[in-house]
Amino acid sequence: MKIIARKNLLLFSFLFISSFAFARQAPVQEPTGGNPEWSKPYAPFRIAGNLYYVGTYDLASYLITTSQGHILINTGLAASKETIKASIEKLGFKYSDIKILLTTQAHYDHLGAMAAIQKETGAMFMVNRPDSSVVADGGFSDYALGGKSTFVPIPVSNYLKNDDTILLGNTVLTMLHHPGHTKGSCSFLFTTSKDEKGKSYRVLIANMPTIVTEQKLTEVESYPGIAGDLAYTLTAMKKLRFDLWVASHASQFDLHKKHKPGALYNPAAFADRKGYDEYLKELQQDYNKRMAQ
């Protein structure tokens, strides 16, 4: 019995590796000439409890440390692998302790280094299911930016859906399906571990529903549900309750106004409900304008 099981396992891994190798044959071309702040290094820091910022100046990557290893959310561009690694080690943690990898959206500016980090750490990559085909072909099937592979395809361990929980050690994250920017864009909500002052915080890692396509929203054939998805996400996000919030891009939550490199630990700087509500209001206005076109 054991031998058969092993044979099947070997066969399975062979099929998996060969189909994956085939998928990888499309040349990956990460777009160049983007925002220079996307690759500009930034000093890592502790946001609240067991949540840390390990991204670049504008592309946010979040490290959540737990009693059973770490969770990393978003990687930025392909070249960010080394800066994320250095940031994690600068904070006193081990890169090799990353156990779970997540993303807020399947675009190359958040997934560029994901496949390489997955390979080096052996961590499980979990994705909101509607983004899974895009993740599997490196962005080729993206409804708006597709037609070329812009990041290395990533092997998926688990497919997630709205309200699924992700458990690691003493931390539980809830994935919130917030589609519209991509089909499987999502946010994460969790309560941090207690800090030295005995305080823990409910944190929203938000993917704000900005509109990628320039097409009329009711005529996007590659994403017929886009208008309904954006409306759903705007409504859902307005209702969320949290103590602190951050987002996929530093500019979206005004990181550089709230934190200066080397500043003391100050979770309260990331409360800013007003900034969150104002941003959603702007996005709602953009959406209404686009729908009235």
Residues contributing to the site for Zn ion (CB under 5 A): 107
**Closest distance between Zn ion and the C-beta of residue 105, in Å?**
5
- Looking at residue 90, its amino acid is K
- Taking the C-alpha atoms of residue 51 and residue 243, their distance in angstroms, rounded to an integer, is 13
The residue number with the shortest CB distance to Zn ion is 107
**Closest distance between Zn ion and the C-beta of residue 207, in Å?**
8
**Closest distance between Zn ion and the C-beta of residue 181, in Å?**
6
**Closest distance between Zn ion and the C-beta of residue 267, in Å?**
27
**Closest distance between Zn ion and the C-beta of residue 185, in Å?**
8
DSSP structure string for 175-210: EEE--SSSTT-EEEEEEPPP-TTS---EEEEE----
Cβ distance to Zn ion smaller for residue 107 or 259: 107
Cβ distance to Zn ion smaller for residue 107 or 183: 107
Helix (H, G, I), strand (E, B) or coil at 162: coil
Tokens 């930034």 locate to 42
Cβ distance to Zn ion smaller for residue 26 or 211: 211
- Looking at residue 45, its amino acid is F
Cβ distance to Zn ion smaller for residue 34 or 169: 34
Strand 51-53 to 62-66 pairing: antiparallel
Cβ distance to Zn ion smaller for residue 109 or 243: 109
Cβ distance to Zn ion smaller for residue 107 or 258: 107
**Closest distance between Zn ion and the C-beta of residue 138, in Å?**
15
Nearest by Cα to 262 from 39, 46, 37, 82: 46
In angstroms, how far is the first alpha carbon of the chain from the final one? 65
Q: How many CA atoms lie within 13 A of 258 on its CB side?
A: 22
